[in-house]
């Protein structure tokens, strides 16, 4: 029995993500919450002949509380998306407040749920959820995840393209570490399951790195004011949610990058901080998932000089982003 909940379920990501979750036979209850349209989305999905019973609620009459009660996993794609010319940080003013309010609802009604944060800027919204949970005395760093899977999915696709084997994309695994915005997105191409040609250096290497770092901009530009990635994000969010559910069900050895608090695994976190040469409260590295969430934070491992330079460039921006999220909550209480 698994109850999955989507907050922001009527949106561009929320609808296809809810559809995909409805197809997972392990999910027996699917709760949908948004400030608009969830009864319609829920009615539509409820006709699909898979096990999940679907409920859609709006804010009045404790809709959030009702949807969250009994939740095992809560995915948050609520908030505004970027338009051309905006950075993810430009979304903070609006999305920070939305995520803070929703995190408060989760802390009150589903404090043990696994929380998967999609709303941007992820580098700051994850610290917001953590601080809200701390304020309510229910913080467990093993259970809060920033979803960076889209960066991993893009890396697989773009590397397969460079290798001129697009059909291999599903099997290409490239760790993408750091965070989820611009230079904080660090692909470790030297650790690709499918090695890149040794002559991929200089401009060709930089072009590939930049494409992974700024893949989101490609979609924002192509949508021309109509938002950012939704369908690929729903796919990525579904992938990560499934990994969490499979680990909870006892499957071992599931490893994926996610932006988590290093406190989730103090020993692994300390080893990672040593590699980074500094202490960040949150970082996305490969994590091993277990029945209680984060089981282990893996080190970066062997990286090239170029990758070390990318990590070094990511650290100060990550530190600022994390502080922005943390301060936002601390100043409001």
* Burial tier of 145 (Cβ tally within 10 Å: 0-12, 13-18, 19+): buried
Number of H helices and E strands in the chain, helices first, is 11, 11
**Distance separating alpha carbons of residues 227 and 314, to the nearest angstrom:** 25
Contact partner, 12, from ligand LMR, ligand NAD, none, Cβ < 5-8 Å per class? ligand NAD
The reply on whether position 35 binds ligand NAD by CB under 6 A is yes
For 100, the token pair is: 């803070």
**Distance separating alpha carbons of residues 271 and 189, to the nearest angstrom:** 21
Contact partner, 281, from ligand LMR, ligand NAD, none, Cβ < 5-8 Å per class? none
Say whether 227 counts as a known binding-site residue.
no
Say whether 120 counts as a known binding-site residue.
yes
| x/- track of binding to ligand NAD for residues 138-157 (CB under 6 A) | ---------x--x-------
Q: Select the residue interacting with ligand NAD from 142, 180, 211, 243 (CB under 6 A).
A: 180
Contact partner, 35, from ligand NAD, ligand LMR, none, Cβ < 5-8 Å per class? ligand NAD
Q: Which residue has the tokens 């084997």?
A: 165
Q: Select the residue interacting with ligand NAD from 81, 141, 187, 293 (CB under 6 A).
A: 81
For 33, the token pair is: 């919450």
Reference 255, options 287, 285, 283; nearest CA is: 287
Of 91-99, 137-145, 182-190, 306-314: span binding ligand NAD (CB under 6 A): 91-99
Of 118-126, 260-268, 286-294, 300-308: span binding ligand NAD (CB under 6 A): 118-126
194 included as an active-site residue: no
Contact 259, 269 (CB under 8 A): no
The reply on whether position 116 binds ligand NAD by CB under 6 A is no
The reply on whether position 175 binds ligand NAD by CB under 6 A is no
Closest distance of CB 256 from ligand NAD, Å: 13
**Distance separating alpha carbons of residues 43 and 46, to the nearest angstrom:** 5
Q: Closest residue (Cβ) to ligand LMR? A: 216
Closest distance of CB 42 from ligand LMR, Å: 25
The reply on whether position 173 binds ligand NAD by CB under 6 A is no
Contact 9, 41 (CB under 8 A): yes
Contact 51, 28 (CB under 8 A): yes
Select which of 47, 136, 180, 194 is catalytic: 180
Q: Closest residue (Cβ) to ligand NAD? A: 11
* C-alpha distances out from residue 114 to 110, 150, 271, Å: 9, 19, 25
Closest distance of CB 19 from ligand NAD, Å: 13
The reply on whether position 38 binds ligand NAD by CB under 6 A is no
| Of 10 and 150, CB closest to ligand LMR | 150
Q: What is the CB neighbour count within 10 angstroms for residue 169?
A: 17
How far, in whole angstroms, is CA 105 from its chain's centroid? Answer: 19
Closest distance of CB 225 from ligand LMR, Å: 13
For 84, the token pair is: 């051309």
**Distance separating alpha carbons of residues 274 and 277, to the nearest angstrom:** 5
Name the residues annotated as catalytic: 180
Binding residues: 8-14, 34, 82, 88, 95, 118-120, 154, 233
């Amino acid at each position: 029995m698994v109850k999955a909940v989507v907050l922001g379920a009527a949106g561009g990501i929320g609808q296809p993500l809810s559809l995909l979750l409805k197809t997972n036979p392990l999910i027996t209850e699917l709760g949908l919450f948004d400030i608009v349209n969830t009864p319609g989305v829920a009615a539509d999905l409820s006709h699909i002949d898979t096990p999940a019973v679907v409920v859609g609620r709006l804010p009045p009459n404790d809709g959030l509380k009702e949807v969250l009660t009994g939740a095992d996993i809560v995915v948050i794609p609520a908030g505004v998306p970027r338009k051309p010319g905006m950075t993810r940080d430009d979304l903070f003013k609006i999305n920070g407040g939305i995520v803070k309010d929703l995190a408060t609802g989760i802390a009150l009604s589903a404090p043990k749920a696994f929380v998967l944060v999609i709303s941007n800027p992820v580098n700051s919204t994850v610290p917001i959820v953590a601080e809200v949970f701390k304020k309510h005395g229910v913080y467990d760093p093993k259970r809060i995840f920033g979803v960076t899977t889209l960066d991993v999915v893009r890396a697989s696709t773009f590397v397969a393209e460079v290798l001129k084997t697009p059909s291999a994309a599903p099997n290409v695994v490239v760790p993408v570490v750091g965070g989820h915005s611009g230079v904080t997105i660090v692909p470790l191409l030297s650790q690709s399951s499918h090695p890149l040609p040794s002559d991929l250096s200089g401009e060709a290497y930089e072009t590939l790195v930049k494409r992974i770092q700024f893949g989101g901009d490609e979609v924002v530009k192509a949508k021309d004011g109509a938002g950012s990635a939704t369908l690929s994000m729903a796919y990525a969010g579904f992938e990560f949610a499934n990994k969490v559910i499979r680990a909870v069900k006892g499957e071992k050895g599931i490893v994926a990058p996610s932006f988590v608090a290093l406190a989730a695994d103090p020993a692994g976190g300390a080893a990672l901080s040593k590699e980074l040469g500094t202490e960040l409260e949150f970082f996305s590295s490969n994590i091993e998932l277990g029945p209680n969430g984060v089981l282990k934070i893996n080190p970066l491992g062997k990286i090239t000089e170029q990758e070390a330079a990318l990590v070094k460039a990511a650290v100060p921006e990550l530190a600022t982003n994390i502080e922005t999220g943390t301060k936002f909550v601390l100043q409001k209480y």
